[in-house]
């Protein structure tokens, strides 16, 4: 019995059309509740209390050291999170933390040098990871993308992305970050990040076309939606064939699912717009600063969606 030939030639003819303006017929955009959105922004001051409660609930590493005792790492984490919430450099943060210290439960005297050095402490990273996990909820509709990390606003991402560092993330349809990594290889990062998330489906652009990655996503119980390249071949394992044959035979429905990836692009755009470029030099400090900013982003999103659920 002869095997049925896969429509490789016909599929490759379809791929260029997918990018043409007007080919995809989008569904209606999600309505924004501007009243709740405005109230969530007005009430962002309550995040100070959120920060105190979440950090206090974390476990910390206690190091025994001869000499001057180290500042409590939980207090340092609170200082970093407030600094990133208010988008302040260390010197200005020192002044604001004097005002908020009682509300945050900070007893130590934190000057700008102590706050700056806090970004480079492993104990701080240990707590920040816990806080990040506590800020996550997930609706199962996941999307992934990568973006260059700026060191200056004058930097041109398109011309310098091959030499710069990438910030790769997976977010849900509410733009709550589920996993992220900072590295120079987006695809390799994605292969590790998918192990950290749980969802129903995952959307990726053509930069992540990879048979092994598709197989791993499917094995983790998620339905993959990876935008194809024009020279793509349908031959492969069942997950690979199923994904692209569904696109071939039910194109508009597949594209409606895939284009929810715009939430990930929106997250990266707003995240860069609202935050200053990363100014830390070494890898640990950069990672801690990035983690703190993502925690603040997740808390803001949670504040909005919790408000929406109650209304």
- pLDDT tens track for 41-54: 777 888 999 999 99
Number of helices (H), then strands (E), in the chain: 14, 5
Q: Which of 1-10, 16-25, 117-126, 225-234 has the lowest mean pLDDT?
A: 1-10
Is pLDDT at 39 greater than 70 in this prediction?
yes
Delimit the domains of the chain by residue range.
Answer: 35-134+280-310, 137-269
Instruction: Dig out the tokens for 10 from the structure.
Output: 């016909």
Kindly state the average pLDDT of the residues 218-243: 94
Q: What's phi and psi for 75, nearest 5 deg?
A: -65, -35
The token duo for 252 is: 């508009």
Strand, helix or coil at 144?
A: strand
- Fold classification of 137-269 is Nucleotidyltransferase; domain 5 (3.30.420)
pLDDT in tens, 98-150: 999 999 999 999 999 999 999 999 999 999 999 999 999 999 999 999 988 76
DSSP state of 259: G
Residues in CB range of 82: below 8 A, 6 or more apart: 48, 51, 93, 96, 97, 100, 104
Report the pLDDT averaged over residues 143-171: 70
Instruction: Give the list of residues 6+ apart from residue 186 with CB closer than 8 angstroms, or none.
Output: 146, 166, 168, 207, 208
Name the pLDDT band for 9 (thresholds 50, 70, 90). Answer: very high
Question: Over the range 113-144, which residues count as b (16 or more CB within 10 Å of their CB) and which as e?
Answer: ebbbebbbbebbbebbebbbebbeebeebbbb
Instruction: Report the pLDDT averaged over residues 227-248.
Output: 94
C-alpha span between 106 and 34 (Å, rounded): 35
Where do we find the tokens 């609930």?
57
In this prediction, residue 250 carries a pLDDT of 95
Q: What are 142's strand-pairing partners?
A: 172, 202
Angle ∠(129,135,136) on CA atoms, nearest 5: 100
């Amino acid at each position: 019995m002869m095997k049925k030939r896969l429509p490789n030639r016909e599929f490759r003819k379809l791929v260029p059309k997918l990018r043409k303006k007007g080919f995809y017929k989008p569904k209606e955009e999600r309505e924004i509740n501007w009243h709740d959105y405005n109230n969530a922004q007005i009430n962002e001051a309550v995040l100070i209390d959120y920060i105190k409660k979440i950090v206090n609930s974390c476990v910390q590493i206690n190091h025994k050291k001869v000499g001057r005792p180290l500042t409590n790492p939980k207090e340092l984490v609170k200082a970093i999170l407030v600094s990133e919430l208010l988008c302040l450099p260390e010197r200005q943060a020192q002044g604001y933390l004097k005002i908020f210290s009682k509300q945050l439960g900070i007893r130590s005297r934190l000057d700008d040098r102590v706050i700056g050095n806090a970004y480079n402490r492993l104990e701080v990273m240990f707590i920040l990871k816990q806080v990040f996990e506590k800020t996550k909820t997930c609706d199962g509709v996941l999307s992934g993308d990568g973006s260059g990390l700026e060191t200056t606003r004058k930097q041109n991402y398109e011309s310098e992305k091959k030499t710069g560092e990438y910030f790769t993330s997976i977010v849900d349809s509410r733009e709550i970050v589920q996993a992220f990594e900072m590295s120079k290889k987006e695809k390799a990062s994605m292969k590790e990040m998918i192990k950290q998330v749980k969802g129903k489906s995952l959307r990726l652009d053509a930069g992540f076309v990879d048979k092994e990655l598709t197989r791993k996503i499917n094995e983790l119980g998620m339905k993959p939606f990876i935008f194809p390249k024009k020279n793509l071949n349908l031959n492969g394992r069942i997950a690979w064939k199923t994904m692209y044959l569904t696109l071939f035979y039910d194109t508009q429905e597949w594209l409606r699912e895939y284009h929810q990836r715009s939430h990930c692009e929106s997250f990266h755009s707003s995240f860069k717009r609202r935050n200053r470029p990363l100014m830390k030099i070494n890898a640990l400090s950069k990672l801690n600063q990035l983690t703190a900013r993502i925690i603040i982003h997740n808390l803001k999103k949670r504040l909005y969606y919790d408000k929406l659920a109650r209304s």
